[in-house]
């Protein structure tokens, strides 16, 4: 018997020694445990969030997506699912579960490893706040001691609340509230039983059980959680069966992916959100990403979505007019078969751009194309091939032909099925503002933010073309002109001897001339010769100073005659602010996009208080000037180059088209008294848009589609005529018109005397101009194949519309 007792005694001694050692280590470690201040005064990293004026999320920025909730706000169903999955005896143990430890130890002994853990929720809180995830006995000891300390100082509900808000659950989501939004686009109280079980299964391994990335493994874990809920009596067998029935991998993948897409792209405000982010970082530095700052912008959901849809349609329509360019890339695929994994890897580097989805071609013929997309084979035929038909023909060049291995874009058109599309190369921008105070109602800085983050609204310095003419006309009104004054629309020629540089022969857009005409009709028909003659008379230097009152940088509009044709440099943002002065009766306002900023505690810390037209905004135009320009711009819409806008069936619309030399830029700037909107189309690296792609053809349709939604249901507004105007007979005798009462009825001359003398004798130009007149200065030619250059290097612009 004695030989039996010796080993038992030895084991007992070793156990006592081990316990003594553990106790000594614990006594030594306890004073060195960290303070629990980070738990008792919990200040999580909450991301910067940007909202519309009506409270819809536009974007969030920060490494951790987190929505902090109180324990009372967490549905009982989710709490039970978390406890069933992670710590069934949470409310019974003191931070460490001896039964769980014994179970894990037995498992590890039988498997010969350390893979089975026994972490309680309290231990996970200790690890997440204070420790690493390394699997060492020393770290485990500190974790256990910290758990006892946490349980001593916090209540069970406080501990569970910390866990629910702090735990990482994949998709950059920290906490269950953020995860519910990331995976399902829901708040916690909207989760179903299968969804709650799915989220409760994530803490064990967020990447492995991510229902978007690994739907099959996620479903297995989800079913485990549901079984645990059934075993613990939380749900009934009927609830279990019903939940299992809708929790298949395919359904899980589809539902979560769709919900995530809806959550991320329900409002297409990336450019607005980025502008707000930059403002926050300027104010708060990198801390802006973790202080829970909330920024409310001025845009509204209705206007922003309308702007995005209008711009996207306009760009896609332009792209279709110019034909299919061919597949984006090609890959060599085995002739017989290829696995889904190989195809997924092939498509992994191709980003989707909203509804323009990347797909790999498996089979192709002029009548049918079969493509692969995320585990699904899609067959496209009929109208779905019409756009890409030239690259399916036998005569199509091999480098652009759709064939097996080609990477193409597909688009779901709804009831008409799938079609082959392409990502447009052209860019566009649209911004709309309230002319009363400059509040931005909608802003889209490009076709797709994920493709190009360059904001063409605020950063795109481009030549405005004839969309700049109203500001020249406004200057002319201040120098005695009236809409009924007559100026000659006849050819002009400036030889090198006069310009001091190179000869310049500007033309009208259509190279046709109409002789003497009123400046009202000249603006309606966008006649370049009239604008040049009028600018020459009032002098380019006066006009350069004058446009500064609209908010333009005068230095970007050199005092050359080409300023009459919009040869300066502007952004859509600046043009919107400039046109607002015509819309609001002559007041200077500056566009702004951030309305209010709140800190993490909901305290208002900043608010924009903009000048308001008619109240605090400075008057920069005589009200008569604003009314007359508005009158002429309304004629542009009713009978001029923007007549297509009559489709909106409103009588309070005004605006001006603009097309620059060689069709590099297409513009439309228009408004009613409630809303100003500017649309632009062009390439980021300027190049020809194609013959006929004028402001009226490319940019105006975007403006119309946006304004049709933005102004729907709003009453027409007619601005009352201000005093101080007299009605006179137009210079061409066609009808009566208005001018300032203090100016004499006779019109200014058709052109300065020296200019008319240039053409008086066999077209021999005068060698010198009188000193009092400013001779036209022919600008330098546009450098070929260059990005937008300083304005001095981007003239002349001989054709405008």
Lowest mean pLDDT: which of 96-110, 335-349, 559-573?
96-110
In which band, very low, low, confident or very high, does the pLDDT at 40 lie, cut at 50, 70 and 90? low
Q: Pick the residue with more confidence: 795 or 198?
A: 198
What are the tokens at 1?
Answer: 């018997």
Q: Is residue 765 predicted with pLDDT exceeding 50? A: no
pLDDT above 70 (res 440): yes
Looking at CATH, the fold of the domain delimited by 325-421 is given as OB fold (Dihydrolipoamide Acetyltransferase, E2P) (2.40.50)
| Angle, CA of 113, 119 and 121, to the nearest 5° | 160
Mean pLDDT of all residues in 614-636: 97
DSSP string, 400-457: T---TTEEEEEEE-GGG-EEEE---S-EEEEEEE-TTT-BEEEEE-SS-TTT----TT
Element (H, E) at 573: helix 572-583
Domain(s) of CATH 3.40.710.10: residues in the chain: 460-586+621-744+772-793
What average pLDDT does the segment 17-25 reach? 46
1.10.3810.10, 1.20.1560.10, 3.20.20.140, 3.30.70.20: CATH of 61-266:
1.10.3810.10
pLDDT recorded at residue 647: 97
Neighbours of 605 (CB within 10 A): 12
pLDDT of residue 32: 53
Q: How far is CA 661 from CA 185, 640, 685, in A?
A: 48, 20, 15
Note the pLDDT of residue 16: 53
Question: Using CA atoms, how far apart are residues 101 and 323, in angstroms rounded to an integer?
Answer: 68
User: Is pLDDT above 60 for 108?
Assistant: no
pLDDT greater than 50 at residue 777 = no
377 strand-pairing partners:
372
Residue 759 pLDDT > 50, yes or no? no
How would you write 626-657 as a 3-class SS string?
A: HHHHHHHHHHHHHHCCCHHHHHHCCCCCEEEE
The mean pLDDT of 628-634, rounded to a whole number, is 98
Q: What is the pLDDT of residue 776?
A: 34
Q: Under a CB-based contact definition with an 8 Å cutoff, are residues 711 and 649 in contact? A: no
**Interval 413-425 mean pLDDT:** 93
Q: What is the pLDDT of residues 227-245, one digit of tens each?
A: 999 999 999 999 999 988 8
Instruction: Give the highest mean pLDDT range of 201-205, 421-425, 794-798.
Output: 421-425
- pLDDT reported for residue 757: 44
Going by C-beta distance under 8 Å and a sequence separation of 6 or more, which residues neighbour residue 644? 696, 700, 701, 704
Verify whether residue 86 is a known catalytic residue. yes
Longest dimension (CA), the chain: 140
Question: Which pLDDT score, from 0 to 100, does residue 7 have?
Answer: 58
- pLDDT at site 2: 52
pLDDT of residue 353 exceeding 80, the answer is yes
Q: Per-residue pLDDT for 689 more than 90? A: yes
Q: Which percentage of the chain shows pLDDT scores above 90?
A: 61
Question: Is 505 a residue whose pLDDT tops 70?
Answer: yes
Mean pLDDT of 603-613: 96
Highest mean pLDDT among 329-343, 595-609, 748-762: 595-609
Give, in degrees to the nearest 5, the angle at Cα 221 between 217 and 222. Answer: 110
Q: DSSP characters for 114-176?
A: S------HHHHHHHHHH------HHHHHHHHHHHHHHHHHS-HHHHHHHHHHH-B-STTEESH
Provide DSSP, 610-621: ---TTTTSPB-S
Residue 578 has pLDDT above 50, yes or no: yes
Residue 252 has pLDDT above 80, yes or no: no
Whole-angstrom Cα distance, residue 701 to residue 647?
10
Length of the chain (residues): 801
pLDDT for 143 beyond 80: no
pLDDT at 572: 98
Average pLDDT (644-666) is 97
Please report the pLDDT score of residue 144 as a whole number.
79
pLDDT-derived band at 782 (thresholds 50, 70, 90) equals very low
Q: How far is the C-alpha of 583 from the C-alpha of 590, rounded, in Å?
A: 13
Mean pLDDT, residues 75-93: 91
pLDDT at 709: 98
Mean pLDDT of the chain: 84
Structure confidence at residue 67 (pLDDT): 86
Mean pLDDT on 276-282: 95
Q: Taking the chain, what is the end-to-end CA distance rounded to the nearest angstrom? A: 112
Helix axes 76-86 and 121-130, enclosed angle (nearest 10):
90
Is it the case that residue 590 has pLDDT exceeding 60? yes
pTM given for the model? 0.80
Of 86, 88, 143, 693, which is the active-site residue? 86
What pLDDT was estimated at residue 88?
Answer: 87
Q: Which residue has the higher pLDDT, 741 or 750?
A: 741
CA distances from 548 to 479, 545, 566 (A): 16, 6, 14
Q: What is the pLDDT of residue 502?
A: 84
Q: How many CB atoms lie within 10 A of CB 416?
A: 10
Domain with CATH 1.10.3810.10 in the chain: 61-266
pLDDT at residue 114 above 50? no
* Portions of the chain given CATH number 2.40.50.140: 325-421
Burial 240-265 (b: 16+ CB within 10 A, else e): beebbeebebeebbebbbebbeeeee
Give 620's pLDDT tier (boundaries 50, 70, 90).
very high
Catalytic residue of the set 466, 467, 474, 531: 466
So what's the pLDDT on residue 9? Answer: 52
Rounded mean pLDDT, 475-480: 96
Fold category of 460-586+621-744+772-793 in CATH: Beta-lactamase (3.40.710)
Task: Mark 350-371 as b/e (b = at least 16 C-beta within 10 Å).
Answer: beebbebbbbbbbebeeeebbb
Pick the range with the lowest mean pLDDT from 265-279, 304-318, 354-368, 780-794: 780-794
* Cβ partners under 8 Å of residue 446, min gap 6: 271, 427, 428, 429, 452, 453, 454, 455, 456
pLDDT at residue number 738: 92
Residue 502 and residue 798: Cα distance in Å, rounded?
13
d(CA 582, CA 333): 60
Asked if pLDDT for residue 722 goes beyond 90, the answer is yes
Task: For residue 302, count other CB atoms closer than 10 A to its CB.
Answer: 15
| 508 vs 517: CA distance, rounded Å | 14
pLDDT of residue 605: 94
pLDDT in tens, 508-529: 988 899 999 999 999 999 999 9
How far is the C-alpha of 246 from the C-alpha of 230, rounded, in Å? 16
Q: How far is CA 690 from CA 318, 570, 572, 656, 697, in A?
A: 10, 22, 22, 20, 11
Beta-carbon contacts of residue 353 (< 8 Å; ≥ 6 apart): 423, 447, 448, 450, 451
CA distance 511 to 491: 9
The model's confidence at residue 21, banded by pLDDT at 50, 70 and 90, is: very low
Q: What is the pLDDT of residue 336?
A: 83
Mean pLDDT to the nearest integer, 765-777: 31
Query: Confidence class of residue 743 from pLDDT cuts 50, 70 and 90?
Result: confident
**What confidence category does residue 256 fall into, taking pLDDT thresholds of 50, 70 and 90?**
low
């Amino acid at each position: 018997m004695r030989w039996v007792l010796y080993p038992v005694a030895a084991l007992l001694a070793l156990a006592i020694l081990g316990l003594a050692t553990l106790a000594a280590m614990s006594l030594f470690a306890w004073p060195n445990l960290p303070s629990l201040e980070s738990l008792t005064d919990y200040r999580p990293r909450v991301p910067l969030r940007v909202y519309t004026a009506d409270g819809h999320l536009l974007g969030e920025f920060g490494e951790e997506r987190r929505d902090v909730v109180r324990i009372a706000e967490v549905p009982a169903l989710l709490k039970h699912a978390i406890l069933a999955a992670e710590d069934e005896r949470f409310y019974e143990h003191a931070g460490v579960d001896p039964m769980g430890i014994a179970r894990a130890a037995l498992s590890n002994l039988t498997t010969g490893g350390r893979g089975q853990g026994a972490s309680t929720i309290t231990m996970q809180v200790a690890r997440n706040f204070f420790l690493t995830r390394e699997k060492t006995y020393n770290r485990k000891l500190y974790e256990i001691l910290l758990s006892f300390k946490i349980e001593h100082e916090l209540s069970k509900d406080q501990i569970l609340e910390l866990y629910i808000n702090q735990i990482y659950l994949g998709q950059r989501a920290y906490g269950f509230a953020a995860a519910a939004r990331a995976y399902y686009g829901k708040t916690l109280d909207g989760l179903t039983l299968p969804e709650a079980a799915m989220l409760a299964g994530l803490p064990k391994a967020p990447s492995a059980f991510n229902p978007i990335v690994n739907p099959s493994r996620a479903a297995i874990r989800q079913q485990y959680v549901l079984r645990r809920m059934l075993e613990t009596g939380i749900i009934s067998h009927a609830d279990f069966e019903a939940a299992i029935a809708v929790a298949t991998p395919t359904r899980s993948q589809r539902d979560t992916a769709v919900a995530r897409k809806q959550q991320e792209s329900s409002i297409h405000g990336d450019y607005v959100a980025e502008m707000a982010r930059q403002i926050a970082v300027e104010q708060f530095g990198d801390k802006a990403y973790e202080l829970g700052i909330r920024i409310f912008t001025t845009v509204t959901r209705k206007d922003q979505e309308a702007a995005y849809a209008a711009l996207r349609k306009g760009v896609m329509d332009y792209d279709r007019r110019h034909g299919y360019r061919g597949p984006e890339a090609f890959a060599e695929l085995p002739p017989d078969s290829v696995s889904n994994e190989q195809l997924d890897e092939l498509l992994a580097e191709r980003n989707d751009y909203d509804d323009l989805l990347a797909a790999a071609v498996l089979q192709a013929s002029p009548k049918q194309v079969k493509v692969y997309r995320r585990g699904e084979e899609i067959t496209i035929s009929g109208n779905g091939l019409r756009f890409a038909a030239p690259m399916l023909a036998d005569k199509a060049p091999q480098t652009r032909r759709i064939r097996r291995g080609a990477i193409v874009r597909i688009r779901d058109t709804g009831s008409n099925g799938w079609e082959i599309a392409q990502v447009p190369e052209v860019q566009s921008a649209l911004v709309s503002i309230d002319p009363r105070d400059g509040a931005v109602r909608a802003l889209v800085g490009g076709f797709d933010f994920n493709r190009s983050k360059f904001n063409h609204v605020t950063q795109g310095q481009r030549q405005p073309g004839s969309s700049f003419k109203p500001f020249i006309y406004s200057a002319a009104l201040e120098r005695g002109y009236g809409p009924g004054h007559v100026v000659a629309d006849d050819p002009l020629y400036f030889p090198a001897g006069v310009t001091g540089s190179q000869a310049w022969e500007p033309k009208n857009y259509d190279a046709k001339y109409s002789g003497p005409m009123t400046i009202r009709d000249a603006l309606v028909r966008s006649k370049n010769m009239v604008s040049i003659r009028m600018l020459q008379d009032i002098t380019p230097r006066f006009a350069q100073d004058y446009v500064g009152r609209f908010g333009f940088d005068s230095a970007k509009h050199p005092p050359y005659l080409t300023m009459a044709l919009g040869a300066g440099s502007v952004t859509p943002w600046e043009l919107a602010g400039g046109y607002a002065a015509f819309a609001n009766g002559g007041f200077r306002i500056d566009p702004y996009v951030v309305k209010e900023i709140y800190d993490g505690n909901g305290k208002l810390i900043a608010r924009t208080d903009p000048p308001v037209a008619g109240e605090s905004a400075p008057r920069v135009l005589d009200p008569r000037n604003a009314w007359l320009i508005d009158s002429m711009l309304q004629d542009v819409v009713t009978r001029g180059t923007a007549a297509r806008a009559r489709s909106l069936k409103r009588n309070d619309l005004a605006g001006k088209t603009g097309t620059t030399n060689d069709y590099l830029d297409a513009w439309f700037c228009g408004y009613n008294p409630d809303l100003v909107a500017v649309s632009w189309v062009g390439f980021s690296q300027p190049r020809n848009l194609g013959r006929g792609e004028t402001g009226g053809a490319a940019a105006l349709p975007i403006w119309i589609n946006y304004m049709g939604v933005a102004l729907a249901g709003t009453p027409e507004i007619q601005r009352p005529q201000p005093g101080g105007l007299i009605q006179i007979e137009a210079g061409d005798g066609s009808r009566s018109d208005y001018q300032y009462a203090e100016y004499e009825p006779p019109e200014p001359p058709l052109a300065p005397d020296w200019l008319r003398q240039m053409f008086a004798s066999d077209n021999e130009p005068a060698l010198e101009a009188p000193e009092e007149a400013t001779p036209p200065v022919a600008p330098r030619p546009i450098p070929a194949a260059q990005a937008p250059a300083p304005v001095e290097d981007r003239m002349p612009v001989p054709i405008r519309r």
